[in-house]
Amino acid sequence: MLIPDYIKYGDTIAVTAPSDGNKSDIDIARLSFAKSKIEDLGVNVIETDNVRRSIKGRSASARERAEQFMQVWKNKDVKAVISAKGGDFLMEILPYIDFDIIKSNPKWFQGYSDNTGLAFTIAVICDIATVYTSNFNDFAMEKWHPAVQNNWDILCGKNVVQNSFLKYQNGFFTGETGKEGYVLNEDVRWVNAVCEDGVCIKGRLIGGCLDVLLNLVGTGYDKVGEFNKKYSQDGIIWFFESFSLGSEELERGLWQLKEAGWFEGVCGFVFGRPAFFSTSTDTTYKEAVINALGEYNVPVILDADIGHKPPQFTLINGAECIINSMNGRGKLEYVNI
């Protein structure tokens, strides 16, 4: 797994919108504040034309989004590409992405939610580590939450030990200025679903938003078999989070990934807090996960700091790590990065 060069003083990062772009006044303000915060740290920020646009859930046409992404990826001065927003339609750009060029010009890509479509495929197709965590606008907050600081420190090459946070944000809040931090209104508590005692998992991370991964399975962008074969001796830690999957969709989706061979060599599963969850069969999230994955007899962690209910860990697709979970608290530390 190729670990790209870390960001240093004087480098340039690019913001682009491979899915949706910024549309509301508050989102535009957050984008500008985030850009200023990063530039104050001595790092240049450039943005593509589509970052401040949103048309029916897309920042531009599929071809244009792909072209703008490839434009900054080919730019030798750019050391990292960070997505502006999530959305629903990133998958439309994949036929226009040149993965050979990506592979020959390694750099960091960061984003989450719909950006799984790039963070995951770049890792499994190009063997380049990618970052699954907040999109660019989270850098706008006046005082960075420790999760945001961890994100930046890791991009700059610091091997940060990430500990579970005390509180998380349950719900979506727009704010009034664009500089607000997270609204921390619920207690964080990691759950060990298979064994209530403490668990320790060591392996290589891969994963993303399940809603998106289920669209990729069985397509030409599904190179999980090759990834698993290459890294099976390390053990594979799958991390997942879901946006709108109910218990029935969750269980069927995990069954589909299992039948597709995605979980060969798995040594553990880590699930984030689901953004929207419902059930028509009186099946809990935990029950759905165990119904689908219990046969693997490996640790399963739920309600970890991953995904749409921030703050979230900075997860590096393709990196080796050690994850501990005990008494409702969790810790992640990277190995050899």
pLDDT tens track for 259-275:
999 999 999 999 999 99
pLDDT tens track for 162-189:
999 999 999 999 899 999 999 999 999 9
* CATH code at 12-160: 3.40.50.10740
Q: 293 pLDDT band (50/70/90 cuts)?
A: very high
pLDDT tens track for 215-263:
999 999 999 999 999 999 999 999 999 999 999 999 999 999 999 999 9
**296 in helix, strand or coil?**
helix
**Looking at domain 167-335, does it have CATH number 1.10.10.60?**
no
Give yes or no for residue 196 having a pLDDT over 80. no
Q: Where are the domains of the chain?
A: 12-160, 167-335
Total-model pTM: 0.97
pLDDT of res. 82: 98
Residue type at 244 in one-letter notation: S
pLDDT tens track for 2-46:
999 999 999 999 999 999 999 999 999 999 999 999 999 999 999
> Rounded CA gap, 334 and 337, in Å?
7
